[in-house]
Structure 1
């Protein structure tokens, strides 16, 4: 339901903005538009034009709570539309209804997942898979939240969703964080949240939930400090003016409406490539292999622009990482933004990337374009090659690419999480080329509840990376559970194990000491003078194994 208040001269503009935003995230979901406070501020909108543009609008209803105008009609319309919802009358086992009602009647804000299972058992649902299905159903309905696919969060079954939202919004609106521009110490939760509602042992859950939804990230040099990009300073740093767009490699995303939180989410995903003073609320400057990228959102133009400078031969690698992260974010939307390729030396002239792909696939070589009053014949392949890495643009079908893609499993100690993030930044380039799909559980901790997920991904992996450090070797789960299983698959030829030495440690007497190590000189990544060079060495070594593995498949 969209509730509009009259704003003289801007009613249709406001309505269109919010309807586009709803469509971006809700797709074709039915919409009821309430024209609110109609007595205090009489107004209307161009109903016919809006309904033509947004056919999912079901009704426009003038309302005024104080004068009790339109409330009965609004209630009846809501009931009418909810009655039409798909799955509304899906049969619900009696035991599930009993469990649901019991959970809804509990005064606690949360329980452990084990307690939830016990409750299911008591009320007639002993099948653990059915218990998980019910948990999914209750989660989708917003009755009880559970993130069972995430090992960091799965043990908490939230009975009161408002407990989560209120806790996070309290943090986001805290004066302390406004003063620090989003920089947050873990003990900030002690000072900000009600200790009765949010005991200290649940603070970690809230922080991990914020990380899951890309609201914040942990500082690499201090795991007790976090940054919330949505609270960063609004001011663009002077360094942003150093980019000469005419000389840069440029790319652009254009949106029907710029989604809230788009750039903050991107900053979270790419934080290993940026520094604090080069991040602001609507933009960031990234550094990678000697290149820099200026990534900015423009609300008025409803676009994100990307400009990369530095060594020409490696600019596309940084652009590939940026595009990979934006594509992951875009997957959560109900729309596909327009990808635009600015013409080199003419950054204001932009051409639709998908259209050029179609032209290339149909054998078209040149595209005439009027630039500065003259017709210029642009080489389509050169334009595409300017923004795409070799191998990332293929005429193959998506199905063919999925079949060819290898599955890569990362085994690591959670003490090396920051180094894993650096590695995965480089792996995005191989993902962009359609060579691999990566999987890691993001936090290696002992436990049976999520061992099945790890086993399933480990058993389907074509390539298994061991991120070697003293913590990896000391980890019972990594060394005594994952490692033997991975080595067995390596010895049988089902997979290839690649140890990557992160930090100096005694690995000579390990079971994998005779395997092919990366970096290729067996020098730990952290001891290289140039960290980018170390990861590039690792990336190339993995790519060589991928090519060899693909050759074995064909």
Structure 2
């Protein structure tokens, strides 16, 4: 049944700041506390009567300090009194403008609010008070007098503010806190007057000591000393007999005081943000500990001592209750991250198995050989395995992925109770040879893993267009794994690489090696370098339960391509496993390392363990390489599968292999058929679209992974609007909303526009799936933008874009944000609200109690586009002088641009202008910057209405033959640039391709633009000057509707 708080305007993706699980717990009677901001937002959506009737059991309204760090003004409503069981309201997340002090509840307030309502509020009704860096001096004095007068009976005091971001910086604290002397002089007096405190928090305040009066607080249960950086920790802290929760986060500690072992009653310990590489031994003495928080510690090891903590139920790496792949520290080696990310029980199980079965040490690594098709990857793989292998010129390129084993004797460094030692082992390297064809790239991303060594093979060909792509994707997915560039000298020469520049851009690049595979020149050096890197990987020598190695050896000896899950369990039991959970844990570990494929969360695939990953990958790639499927634009059906997978090894596994394709986002089902989105037509089908009132978003990526839109298509295939899907885009529909999503890979961006009465539910679905896709790329960096909604930008094909972050920043401060095109000042809140699926989102909280910005009168602008210097500039000076009589602003680069301002941003602003005076001469039409402006103007609607040309004699735009000269000019510029690019390595072409695209656009459009301008009734400069620019004056006045 749909929960009562869901509605057409409130989907399950709306809870950006508050937990839906908390709301559900209250609704089901499992909890009686709820965030104050969430309650108010629900009342705004559903009305007070409905909200109160469903939440009548609420007793405590909790603080929103984490959600609302800036304490927005808010009127606390009287209707809270309609909640019959309400006893406590914590409003410390806000700055109340009014307070129903007559309510029989205990309040949580900031110190300034205590002063503001001093005449109305009863001291006995104060439960909690906050002091922050901007608390006023008057409020501090009032609070101290209040406390020393014996009237306060606080249970909670917070000094500073708990944050989840970077560790506190004391220099910044001293600069931010307005009343440091008062704090240092009076905090002890204040605490001495509040001996009954149960909760006390110091976080990020510039004390650098633990105040002595805390020692006498016998009833203190929760103590936070975060970011305090004291010179020493007094032992008496750990003798506080009632203490149950202790927070020592962000204190730059490398160890914990031994006296902590005295705090045997602690149930929660927070040591996040410190510099521990191992959890300090004293922690293992805290036998009552239930929760241990170790976020943002550079842990290398979680030792077997964790088994001593019988009551420990939560080991917290992340900021929420889920341990994501990016939650575990990159530094963690023991237990393996693949185990640790499964959570506390998996870590305990790992150590129990090792204790019971004995120990072995990991001597296995993954080597991934990548690069463009034909660069020599397969040849290098075979040479690594057998240096005597003779190259075969007719050898086929790798289709998909080929995995081979490379073994050699090695001495690995291990650490045990006796310290470090060298151990002789047969070292195994799983060599993954990746097909270089572009069609495989998106799926390869599933197998590019951390804790591996990458070899990027390139040859002397200048057209190696994928070189930059592979550098970027390794940087994105490898987690800092070492990268070696191998240059294959096919013709006896290697491509010149700027190694210093590459090292600066890609910190994991550990070297380049040049070789000739034809005669093995340089092969020994290359193999030696690769061996050195694989043997030095941090996980080599990690201890493992001996049973794990025994199972690994048994699977390696099994020649089958796949086995059933029942057979896998049988093999594990035969090698010493007794618990099914331990077997599943091992299956997950082997899957994460790429040793096998075992999708335990998939109802169909969990029944099969694929022992040879290349068996599965070659099968799915075979569909993509099938001529009939390609000719059918990616559509295939069950009848095609026996033909494609005709070998005996695939018999009876067709359903599983199709599901594997779905898992890799390679296909989706449609009416008893399947569609492979990367084989769809590249042409966008024509479809109706109403541009009116669209909601528009754009994602811009520093490095854009391939196939994002295809993964979206697969994930949301049930929402596709008929046949409106193509290789780089899709149209989706849901209820009253419709969305068009287009990937522009070479511009590193994703464009989304939505239409309909309320498309925000559909937007929530898209955002949720995009979030899941983004999460699979731990190092991904992107900006989420939405267009400006000023009049100029609404009419523009390329409006100014604001990042969501900057809109939120301006909304928080209540300031207007300025459009970079029109310079109009705008209220950011409506732009945020349009993106919100519900007022429960941040934008609702931003607007609560927020005064509306004052209206701003916008002066019409006339833009001038011209080439600097000569007669054109003199004409612009005359135009500007004449237009001073109009109530307009003349915008030209000399007066508008400052040092280091973006030239292109200013040009786009001109291009979007409502009225643009263009002074055309030959120099203008042969200028890259001027033509960027003119093509931008021409790309906007109503080009002929917005442009006001003044044509110089040397422009010669009125005859077709003259106009063709400009087409030929830009054709030459384009050809010259292309020729120059061929002599430069791909890694050095940043920004050059954009110039090539511009030249091509100018060449393609200049004839049409000049045809439009030549057909207008233009005047020469002399004619304009002779009439004192009257014609231009009248035309602009009409266009801008000014007197």
TM interval, shorter chain, is 0.5 to 0.7
Q: Which residue of 1 aligns with 2:456?
A: 2
Larger Rg: 1 or 2? 2
- Higher RCO (CA < 8 A, seq sep 6+): 1
Does 2:743 align with 1:292? no
**Quick check: 1:273–1:286 contact (8 Å CA) kept in 2?**
yes
How many Å separate the matches in 2 of 1:233 and 1:294? 16
* Alpha-carbon shift at residue 392 of structure 1 (Å): 5.2
Structure 2 CA distance for partners of 1:74 and 1:150, relative to 1, 3 Å: same
* Alpha-carbon shift at residue 170 of structure 1 (Å): 0.6
Does 2:535 align with 1:83? yes
Q: 1:315 aligns with which of 759, 768, 777?
A: 759
Structure 1 gaps of 5+ residues are: 398-554
* Alpha-carbon shift at residue 203 of structure 1 (Å): 0.9
Q: Aligned pair count?
A: 384
Q: Which residue of 1 aligns with 2:752?
A: 306
How many Å separate the matches in 1 of 2:540 and 2:646? 37
Q: 1:251 aligns with which of 669, 683, 697?
A: 697
1:490-501 alignment runs, 5 A limit: none
**Quick check: 1:35–1:44 contact (8 Å CA) kept in 2?**
no
Does 2:588 align with 1:144? no
How many Å separate the matches in 2 of 1:320 and 1:26? 30
How many Å separate the matches in 2 of 1:227 and 1:324? 23
Does 2:817 align with 1:367? yes
Q: Which residue of 2 aligns with 1:385?
A: 833
1:429-468 alignment runs, 5 A limit: none
Counterpart of 1:191 in 2: which secondary structure? helix
Structure 2-normalised TM-score?
0.35
Counterpart of 2:823 in 1: which secondary structure? strand
Q: Which residue of 2 aligns with 1:188?
A: 640
Structure 2 CA distance for partners of 1:381 and 1:69, relative to 1, 3 Å: farther
Q: Which residue of 2 aligns with 1:536?
A: none
* Alpha-carbon shift at residue 14 of structure 1 (Å): 4.7
Structure 2 gaps of 5+ residues are: 1-454, 846-1043
Q: Which residue of 2 aligns with 1:214?
A: 665
Q: 2:576 aligns with which of 124, 140, 162?
A: 124
How many Å separate the matches in 2 of 1:234 and 1:276? 17
Q: 1:53 aligns with which of 481, 505, 514?
A: 505
How many Å separate the matches in 2 of 1:148 and 1:319? 30
Counterpart of 1:370 in 2: which secondary structure? coil
Does 2:736 align with 1:282? no
Does 2:681 align with 1:233? yes
**Quick check: 1:174–1:192 contact (8 Å CA) kept in 2?**
yes
**Quick check: 2:703–2:781 contact (8 Å CA) kept in 1?**
no
How many Å separate the matches in 1 of 2:538 and 2:596? 21
**Quick check: 1:287–1:293 contact (8 Å CA) kept in 2?**
yes
Does 2:773 align with 1:325? no
Structure 2 CA distance for partners of 1:392 and 1:66, relative to 1, 3 Å: farther
* Alpha-carbon shift at residue 38 of structure 1 (Å): 5.5
Structure 2 CA distance for partners of 1:366 and 1:141, relative to 1, 3 Å: same
Does 2:607 align with 1:162? no
**Quick check: 2:833–2:839 contact (8 Å CA) kept in 1?**
no
User: RMSD in angstroms over aligned alpha carbons?
Assistant: 2.3
Counterpart of 2:541 in 1: which secondary structure? coil
How many Å separate the matches in 2 of 1:307 and 1:218? 25
Over residues 1-32 of structure 1, what are the superposed CA-to-partner deviations in whole Å (9 max), with x where a residue is unaligned? 22222332x66x75433211222222322211
* Alpha-carbon shift at residue 367 of structure 1 (Å): 1.2
Structure 2 CA distance for partners of 1:237 and 1:70, relative to 1, 3 Å: same
**Quick check: 1:365–1:381 contact (8 Å CA) kept in 2?**
no
**Quick check: 2:833–2:844 contact (8 Å CA) kept in 1?**
no
Does 2:567 align with 1:115? yes
* Alpha-carbon shift at residue 296 of structure 1 (Å): 0.5
How many Å separate the matches in 2 of 1:119 and 1:273? 43
Q: Which residue of 2 aligns with 1:43?
A: 495
Counterpart of 2:600 in 1: which secondary structure? coil
**Quick check: 1:39–1:67 contact (8 Å CA) kept in 2?**
no
* Alpha-carbon shift at residue 359 of structure 1 (Å): 3.4
Q: Which residue of 2 aligns with 1:269?
A: 715
Greater percentage in helix: 1
Q: Which residue of 1 aligns with 2:786?
A: 341
Q: 1:63 aligns with which of 512, 515, 539?
A: 515
* Alpha-carbon shift at residue 226 of structure 1 (Å): 1.5
* Alpha-carbon shift at residue 39 of structure 1 (Å): 4.0
* Alpha-carbon shift at residue 137 of structure 1 (Å): 2.2
How many Å separate the matches in 1 of 2:577 and 2:765? 46
Q: Which residue of 1 aligns with 2:947?
A: none
How many Å separate the matches in 2 of 1:38 and 1:49? 24
How many Å separate the matches in 1 of 2:763 and 2:817? 24
Structure 2 CA distance for partners of 1:125 and 1:57, relative to 1, 3 Å: same
**Quick check: 2:457–2:488 contact (8 Å CA) kept in 1?**
yes
How many Å separate the matches in 1 of 2:841 and 2:499? 44
How many Å separate the matches in 1 of 2:840 and 2:540? 43
Structure 2 CA distance for partners of 1:72 and 1:364, relative to 1, 3 Å: farther
Q: Which residue of 1 aligns with 2:587?
A: 135
Counterpart of 2:741 in 1: which secondary structure? strand
How many Å separate the matches in 2 of 1:89 and 1:266? 40
Over residues 422-442 of structure 1, what are the superposed CA-to-partner deviations in whole Å (9 max), with x where a residue is unaligned? xxxxxxxxxxxxxxxxxxxxx
Over residues 241-284 of structure 1, what are the superposed CA-to-partner deviations in whole Å (9 max), with x where a residue is unaligned? x464x752210011123322211111111212213521000001
How many Å separate the matches in 2 of 1:109 and 1:229? 28
Counterpart of 1:132 in 2: which secondary structure? helix
